[in-house]
């Protein structure tokens, strides 16, 4: 199987790459930091002796996305499964003070993710097979005052993926939405929470298994489905007063 991973310097992305490489799959690791991604690729290649390629990918350069997919297909031979992993949490206060910071959060997590997913959809629909795994977040399930730019972008991406899944359902292409809770990566570094934090390795296993089984939406860890069910049930008149 040929696998494309976008945002390959992320800890979760590295674990996804290792999971596929273990099975002998070919992987193309695409990221904006070429040196870093080359180091990650050599490490995976040495450990698993499989084909590991690297590519340059910038989420906000949407004009480059269709050409990027053409080049990726040429390099790999085909794209059977693509993981859209990149993301940027940003800083809520900074985003409130300076809209350019908010715009980056929206551009990376929503516009960039939608743009590359569309380019993948066009390729896979024409081919009549493939799978797109979009990494979203439980933060997109309800707008919270503490991170509503990131939450809005992820929530928008979840809705987009839901629509895309419907569009591609009859063409043999599967679209999975992954709504992640807390995962132990630089994005959550220093975060104080009583809710258990999952490892990137366990997350990658769960993502690969769910994608293989053709799941539509995966909450990971699983208990976030219930946590978000409860959070969404809080009446707005109470929710707006809660400092979360």
Binding site for ligand NAP (CB under 6 A): 7, 9-12, 31-33, 57-60, 85-88, 108, 135, 137, 180, 182-183, 185-188
Nearest by Cα to 53 from 27, 72, 20: 27
Query: Measured from the CB atom, is 75 or 125 closer to ligand NAP?
Result: 75
- Would you say 145 and 95 are in contact if contact means Cβ atoms under 8 Å apart? no
What is the token pair recorded at 122? 């066009």
Nearest approach, Cβ of 5 to ligand NAP (angstroms)? 10
Query: Measured from the CB atom, is 26 or 185 closer to ligand NAP?
Result: 185
Nearest approach, Cβ of 104 to ligand NAP (angstroms)? 8
Query: Measured from the CB atom, is 10 or 115 closer to ligand NAP?
Result: 10
The rounded distance, in Å, linking the Cα atoms of 147 and 107 is 15
Chain position whose Cβ is nearest to ligand NAP: 87
Coil, helix or strand for 25?
coil
Nearest by Cα to 136 from 154, 152, 118: 154
Query: Measured from the CB atom, is 12 or 228 closer to ligand NAP?
Result: 12
Nearest approach, Cβ of 9 to ligand NAP (angstroms)? 4
- Would you say 204 and 18 are in contact if contact means Cβ atoms under 8 Å apart? yes
């Amino acid at each position: 199987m040929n696998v494309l991973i976008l945002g390959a310097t992320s800890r979760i992305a590295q674990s996804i790459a290792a999971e596929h490489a273990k099975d002998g799959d070919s992987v193309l690791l695409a990221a904006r930091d070429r040196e870093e991604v080359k180091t990650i690729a050599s490490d995976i290649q040495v450990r698993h002796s499989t084909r590991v390629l690297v590519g340059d990918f910038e989420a906000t350069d949407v004009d480059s996305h269709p050409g990027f997919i053409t080049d990726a297909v040429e390099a790999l031979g085909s794209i059977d499964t693509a993981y859209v992993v990149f993301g940027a949490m940003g800083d809520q206060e900074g985003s409130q003070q300076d809209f350019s910071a908010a715009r980056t959060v929206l551009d990376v997590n929503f516009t960039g993710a939608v743009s590359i997913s569309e380019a993948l959809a066009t390729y896979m629909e024409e081919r009549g097979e493939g799978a797109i795994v979009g990494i979203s977040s439980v933060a997109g399930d309800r707008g919270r005052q503490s991170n509503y730019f990131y939450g809005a972008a992820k929530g928008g991406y979840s809705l987009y993926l839901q629509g895309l899944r419907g569009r591609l359902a009859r063409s043999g292409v599967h679209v999975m939405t992954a709504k992640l809770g807390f995962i132990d990566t630089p994005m959550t570094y220093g975060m104080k929470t009583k809710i258990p934090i999952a490892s990137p390795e366990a997350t990658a296993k769960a993502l690969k298994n769910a994608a293989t089984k053709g799941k539509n939406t995966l909450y990971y860890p699983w208990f976030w489905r219930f946590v978000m069910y409860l959070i969404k049930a809080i009446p707005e008149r109470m929710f707006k007063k809660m400092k979360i």
